[in-house]
Amino acid sequence: MVLFALAVAGIVIAACLAVALVVGPDPGALLGTAVITGGIIGLASLYRISSLGSGGAAVAMQMGGVPVPEDTADPQLRRLRNVVEEMSIASGVPVPAVFVLEQEPGINAFAAGYSTSDAAVAVTRGALDRLNRDELQGVVAHEYSHILNGDMRLNIRLMGVLFGILVLGLMGRKILMYSGSSRNRNAGALVVFALVAVVIGAIGMFFARMIKAGVSRSREVLADASAVQFTRQTRGIAGALKKIAGVEEGSRFQQRAEAEEVSHMLFGDGLGLSGLFATHPPILQRIQALEPGFRSEQLERLQVQWRSAPPNGMQEDLAMGLAADGVAVLPDARSELAVTPPMVSAQVANPGDDDYRHADAIVATLPGELASFARRREAVKPLLLGLLLDDADAAVRARQHVEVSTRLGDGVASLAEELRAGPLLDLHPAYRLPLAQLAFPLLRMRPRPELEAFMDTVHAVVHADDHVSLFEYCLGRLLETQVREFLDPGRHARFGRRKPGNVKQEFATLLAVVAQAGHADPDDARRAYLAGMQRVLPRDHVPYAPPARGVLALDDVWEPLDRLDPLAKEVLVEAITAAAMHDGRVTVAESELLRTICGVLHCPLPPMLEDRKA
């Protein structure tokens, strides 16, 4: 913030000096120049922030990104989608939009967006060509660290704010490009103006690079460490860094103007800057943090080897036999898991290698028909609605059919019922959220009116009767939240600041509903409720009172609880866990309910809540 204030002051002073050289020390002219220059900076920042309001996909497309289709048959693109989908299932977030920067031969990637609902991951063509699957997974895990740790939101806001101090230099360059081919008699004056703008803009460039470097370097170190923590191995991300250092293209961007704006978001240094301006630690330093025994002499040998015979990632995969570790087995749907509240809260946005094995198992064993529906544009709405339909009450199902048919057509309603009565009827509970995560990228490709109609339909299906299960209610709410955030990502990006003492009644309502849903006996439910309240409000006495409206009472609690500060949310997750499983054990179905509730509150959990020390 100090550097930004210095940048604005420096640009304004430089502009005033330039005017003073032309018109002399005229106070009125200098004041006007200062006001106009400050106005340009402010308006440019507001304009850029507004242009980025569409979320991560807008940034990726501005960088020349090409969307990767969900049903692509290209082996490289299929491999990328598989890695991203497994990473999303493992971390408990929707699958982001996936892009390839086809014109970039360097090895690089970035994540952009305001939240997990509008996130986009972009990978260069060079990364697809050069990296094997382990290395690609390491790079994607690095980007998921930015998504889960909040860096992505910080980075996209930084893009908008810094544009204001860069705009004069950018204007000057554009004018110079235009005037070089212009025969206008005023071209000479334009060139002079442009040169002055470029010189003044250099002040903004200087401070912008220092700001980005100061923010980015520590976050990149954290992301490297998180990638290792997520995947539990260093060979992937370390191998990607070695190839960046060893191949001729490195991580440099061909489009330097675009790379300047997003340099702080990239996996590798896209501009070749060093010293104060370096947005990333030196490449050898990053490798040695992962492999302490690695030496510069080894890097030099790799450079010689790869510059004569560039690496081919797909060929390396074939040589390694691809899936050498096998596929993990999902636990029985009725089995119980040993968990504790602190252990569950510690897994929020913190997947590990066991979670990736579970994600592999889910993707590999997901019923083929349902996997096909999740990747078909016209089938995702019936599939998601089928997950919400009531199983037990025929009257409720009839009302739900009418609600869907009225808004989306009889074809969607009939297919949703067929899926519910068929492959969704006895679906393993561990598949339900992953199906929603896999289907979300195709859902958000729909036009805004269709998405709004879908949100309205989900709300109507969930509220068709007072006896909707807590899981169905929370899954519907999660879908609504994700679609709403995707439609207006900038508007829904928020930093929580509330404390537990300000939302006592909301805590009590949520914990009462959770306790009642998991315990048929009223005394057991009361004890579960008190176990949760003891975690979050130990000094307050809020009596157990199950809401008369049942799960529908939760409509009023989500927004206040979602605005809690991070430490309060950690306690909230522990409280929900304690209420849901006050006996210390939980079934797979109950763990999925817990994951869904936490998803609504932007606390994503991995697919299986097992004790990693066990």
Residues with catalytic function: 143
Tokens of 151: 């860096």
Rounded to the nearest 5 degrees, what angle is found at the Cα of 341, between the Cα atoms of 336 and 343? 85
Rounded to the nearest 5 degrees, what angle is found at the Cα of 219, between the Cα atoms of 109 and 67? 20
Percent helix, percent strand, percent coil in the chain, to nearest 5: 65, 5, 30
Q: Report the interhelical angle of 187-231 vs 235-246 (nearest 10°).
A: 150
66 SS3 class = strand
Q: For residues 531 and 579, is the Cβ–Cβ distance under 8 A?
A: yes
Q: How far apart are CA 12 and CA 560, in angstroms?
A: 42
The amino acid present at 542, given as its one-letter code, is V
Residue 99, H or E segment: strand 97-101
Alpha carbon of residue 276 to chain centroid: 29
CA atoms within 13 A on the CB side of 123: 29
Q: For residues 169 and 205, is the Cβ–Cβ distance under 8 A?
A: yes
Q: Which residues pair with 587 in a beta bridge?
A: 336
Tokens of 234: 């260093």
Q: For residues 144 and 91, is the Cβ–Cβ distance under 8 A?
A: yes
Measured between alpha carbons, how far is residue 494 from residues 1, 119, 153, 193 in Å? 20, 15, 10, 41
Tokens of 222: 């954290």
Alpha helix ranges (H) inside 366-393: 368-374, 380-388
Alpha carbon of residue 38 to chain centroid: 34
The amino acid present at 53, given as its one-letter code, is G
Q: Provide the 10 A C-beta neighbour count for residue 559.
A: 10
Q: How far apart are CA 565 and CA 571, in angstroms?
A: 10
Residues with Cβ within 8 Å of 158's Cβ and at least 6 positions away in sequence, in order, are 211, 212, 215, 264
Residue 450, H or E segment: helix 448-462
Alpha helix ranges (H) inside 488-553: 489-492, 504-518, 522-536
Rounded to the nearest 5 degrees, what angle is found at the Cα of 440, between the Cα atoms of 435 and 442? 115
Q: For residues 511 and 533, is the Cβ–Cβ distance under 8 A?
A: yes
Phi, psi of 122 (to 5 degrees): -120, 135
Residue 226, H or E segment: helix 187-231
Q: Sheet harboring 97-101: ordered strands across?
A: 66-67, 97-101, 120-124, 109-112
Q: How far apart are CA 437 and CA 479, in angstroms?
A: 10
The amino acid present at 513, given as its one-letter code, is V
Nearest to 90 by CA among 604, 479, 476: 604
564 SS3 class = strand
Tokens of 105: 């031969």
